[in-house]
Amino acid sequence: MNSQAEPGAPRLRLLRASPATVPALGGLGTRRSLRTTCRDELESVPVKMRLRLLLLLLLCEAQGHAAPRPNFVLLMADDLGIGDPGCYGNTTLRTPNIDRLAAEGVKLTQHLAASPLCTPSRAAFMTGRYPIRSGMASQSFIGVFIFSASSGGLPTSEITFAKLLKNQGYSTALIGKWHLGTNCHNKTDFCHHPLSHGFDYFHGIPVTNLRDCKPGEGSVFTRGIRVLVFIPLQIIAITLLTLAVLKCLGLLHVPPVVFFCLLCLAAMILGLLLCFLHYFRPLNCFLMRNHEITQQPLSYDSLTQRLTADAAQFIRRNAGTPFLLLLSYLHVHTALFSSPDFAGHSQHGAYGDAAEELDWSVGGKANNWEGGIRIPGILRWPGVIQAGLVIDEPTSNMDIFPTVAKLAGSPLPEDRIIDGHDLMPLLQGKTQHSDHEFLFHYCNFYLNAVRWHPRN
C-alpha cells in the first residue's frame, strides 16, 4: 500500500463558515474606516460574546487546515512467492523497484493470505473477512471461478473497502484482475461486477488468467479432459474392438446399428472437445473497460504496459481529489507472459521474466504450505511510516480493509464481523504485538490449519 497524499489533495473540512454567515467578520481589515468601525463595534460586544467569536474563528481556521486525506495505491501481485523479491532474500531475480519500496517503507515477514486460492483470497482482501463468512469458500474441488458465465460472485451484501471510500468522496478504480464474479441472472445485470462493489472505474479481466487464454501454453482442464473425454473414448474403442472380434468369431450377433451408434458417440465426444477448446478462449479470456468488452480474445502483447499506463492516467486524472487505486496484476499467475523487453532476460525462464516485468510496473500456490499463504507484504508512507522497518509479527491481507477505512475516516460496518485489524499501531510502533492471536487457514470450505500467536 502506498498511502501518500498528492500535493493537490483536498483537505478534510468538518466545519466551513460561508462569508454570508458572518458578514461583519468577512470584512475585517479591508479598509481603515471599516477597521475603526468594526473595532468600535467589537468593543461594545460583551466579553463572553467576543470570546465565543474568537473561538469560532480559531475553530474555522483549524478545520480549514486539517490534514489532507491520504491517497491509496494498492498493488496486488498474483501468485508472487515470499522468496521471489530481492528484499526477501532472492539474489537472482532483479526486483529493484520492489526492493526500494521495502527500503523506504515497512516489510512484513509474516504476512499471510486468508486463502491459497485466487477467488476466496481476493474476497477476504476486499472485505476484511474470512471468505467462508461471505460464501466465497467453495465446497467443491474447484475453488475459483473459471468461466465468465458463472452466476456466482461476491455477494452484493458484502462491503468492500472501495465502497466505504466511495461513500467518503474518494474516486476509486480497479485495474487488472477481478475474479470475483460478473453477473447473476443474465449477461447485462453486472451484479458482481467491480462497479457494483464500489469502484468507479474498471479496466481489466473479470475472470482470471489461465493457460488456456494463451495459445501454446497448455490447459488447466487436462484432468477433466482425461476423465470426460479420453477415458470414455478408450471404453468406446475397447467395446468396438470386442464386439468386432466376437462377431468375426461368430460368437455374438451384433447389428450394424450398434457399431454406428458407438462411432457416433465417439464423434460427438470429440466434437464437443474441439468446440470447447475453440470457443473457451474468446468466451472467457477478454478485456473489459467498465461494462464494455474492449478486446476479445485477450491479447498479451504489451498488456502490462497498457494497464500500467492506464493506472498512471487515473492517478493524474484524480490528482486534485482523494483516490483509491487497486492495481491488480495478472503476473505471475499462469499463463506466464512478458513483453519483448523482458522475455528471455531473467535467470529463471518465463516465470522470472514475468516477475521482473512486474517489478518494472511497480517503479500458486494452491495449498496451505507456507508457499501458498505466506506472501510478500510491503507498505510505504513517507513521513508517517518509518523507512526500513521490518515487522515479524503475523499479519493478514484482511488487515488492509480496516486500515484503509480508518485512514480514510470511514467507520467500519457494525452489522458484521471484521476479521482484519488496523495495521497502523503496529506500523507506527505504538504496539509491538499483532492483534491476531489466531489465524485460520482454509483450503476451499475446509479448515486446514490454525496459526496461534500467544499474546504473552
Which residues participate in catalysis according to the annotation?
Answer: 118, 179
Supply the Cα-derived Rg of the chain in whole angstroms.
29
- Quote the CA–CA distance of 232 and 238 in Å, as a whole number: 10
Question: Would you state the torsion angle of the CA atoms of residues 7, 9, 12, 13, taken in this order, to the nearest 10 degrees?
Answer: 80
- Quote the CA–CA distance of 123 and 129 in Å, as a whole number: 8
Q: Is 422 helix (H, G, I), strand (E, B) or coil?
A: coil
List Cβ neighbours of 218 (8 Å cut-off, separation of 6 or more): 211, 212
List Cβ neighbours of 338 (8 Å cut-off, separation of 6 or more): 304, 350, 353, 354, 356, 357
List Cβ neighbours of 411 (8 Å cut-off, separation of 6 or more): 405
Tell me how far the alpha carbon of residue 155 is from its chain's centroid: 16
- Quote the CA–CA distance of 194 and 181 in Å, as a whole number: 9
The residue behind cell 470570546 is: 51
Asked whether 220 and 212 are in contact (CB, 8 A), the reply is yes
Q: Are strands 377-379 and 389-391 parallel, antiparallel or unpaired?
A: unpaired
Amino acid identity at 400 = I
- Quote the CA–CA distance of 137 and 148 in Å, as a whole number: 18
Q: Strand runs (DSSP E) across 64-221, as ranges?
A: 72-76, 106-108, 111-112, 171-177, 201-205
Phi, psi for 73 (deg, rounded to 5): -120, 110
CA-based angle 258:261:267, to the nearest 5?
A: 145
Q: Is 121 helix (H, G, I), strand (E, B) or coil?
A: helix
- Quote the CA–CA distance of 422 and 398 in Å, as a whole number: 10
